Every structure is written in C-alpha cells, then in structure tokens.
Amino acid sequence: MCALLSSCARLIRMSTAQGARARARIEVTAAIKDEARRQLAAEGAAKLSLRAVARELGMVSSALYRYFPSRDDLLTALIIDAYDSLGESAEQAHDAVAEAAPPERWLAVCEAVRRWALGHPHEYALIYGSPVPGYVAPQTTVPPAARVGLLLIGIVRDAHDGPGGLEELPPVPEDLHAEAERIAADLAPDLPSQVTAALVVAWAQLFGLVGFELFGQFNRVVEAREPFFRHAVRQLGRGVGLR
C-alpha cells in the first residue's frame, strides 16, 4: 500500500510540474507575441527582430529561440493569429444574423472585416499590406487565411441553392473560360464558373476597399466612410448574383 501511495504521489507531482511548465510556456509565448506586435506597430514587419524582442522581455536570445527558432517562425505565428482573429470576428458576425437573407449575411461579414481592420491596423497591414522582404508564408497560413473567403462562398452557395437562386451573371470571356473553370474546381465546384470568378473579384475588392480606407487613400475623397462602404459591399453582393 505504501509503495502504491508513493507511486501515486510521484505521478501527481510529475503531472503538476508538467502542467506548470505548459502554463509557463503558454504565458511566455503570449508575451513574445505581444512584444512582437508592439514592434510591428512601431517599426513594421520588415524590422521585426528576435534579438530586440528578447531584449525588451529581459530574455537572452538563446532562450527565445526555444519558442521561435527564427524570425520567420515568429512572423508565421503572428500571421496565423491575425487571420484567425479576423476569421473569428467575421464568423461571429455571420452567426448573429444566420437566419437572415443572404444579402444581409454578406453585408454583416463584410462589415465585420472592416471593423476588425480598423481595430487592428498593424495586424491587418501584416496580412494584407506590403510583403515582408525575404519571408515566404508556409502552407500553415492558408487555412486561416481562407476563413473569410469560405464564409462568403457559403453565403453565395446558400443563395444559389435557395428559393429564387442567384441572379444570372454574364458568362466569362472566352479567353478566361479555362481559368474560370479551374477557379471553380478549386473553390466551389458546385457553383457556376462565372459566379466563382465574380467571387474572387468581390473578395479582392472587399479587401481593397478596407485597405484604401485604412492606409489613407480615401483621404479627401470619401468622407462618409461607413455608408460608402455599406453601399460598395452591397454592390459587390449584387455582382456575385445575390438578389
């Protein structure tokens, strides 16, 4: 019995120690990311430095490398976090109006993208601004990056399958036909190719609208930003066939 109790006590101590190490790792990882985001805001992604992050946190560089072996690993983590945060915001906005008609769901998702970008300008710049010199995003960034696009595709799919369907769109030009078919096969094989091509256009224009506002291109051009945005994204919805 004593041996059994002793073994149980050792297991409990080991489990407690492992749990404490796991919590400590989570806390240090979060602190590293927070400092890296502060540097992004101050210096931009191109100047992000592991040594500078370690110095600000009072860590030696070798200790930080155990969490992120390179600058690119840290950038990837920040990029995935940003895409996931944006995607979660868009999905929550959609869930709040899930029973509404597709055009209203479309508008809710687009407005959520704009709100998130205005609230997280430096993270938005990281994922939709200028590429970071020397950085190549790995495949692990693709699923988080696709969350908003898949949400918009789902809205259009529901409209296509629902009463009344989509407005008929003109066919794509002959010289674009093969590319439109390829895009449809990759993104939404159950939708007409002209619809998926229009979705890619709308996706690019949505983030173009947000980027123009965020990075100052609308200054002295568009003053009533919110109503202008709502009008524009409703037009985008009509462009993909939403009635």
147-151's contacts with Cβ under 8 Å and 24+ in sequence apart are 147/83, 147/84, 147/86, 147/87, 147/88, 147/90, 147/91, 148/86, 148/87, 148/90, 148/109, 148/113, 148/203, 149/187, 149/199, 149/203, 151/87, 151/90, 151/91, 151/94, 151/109
Q: What is the pTM of this model?
A: 0.87
Q: What is the pLDDT of residue 238?
A: 97
243 residues of the chain, pLDDT tens digit each = 555 446 555 655 555 656 667 777 788 889 999 999 998 888 888 888 889 998 998 888 888 889 999 999 999 999 999 999 999 999 999 999 999 999 999 999 999 999 999 999 999 999 999 888 889 999 999 999 999 999 999 999 999 999 989 999 999 999 999 999 999 999 999 999 999 999 999 999 999 999 999 999 999 999 999 999 999 999 999 999 998
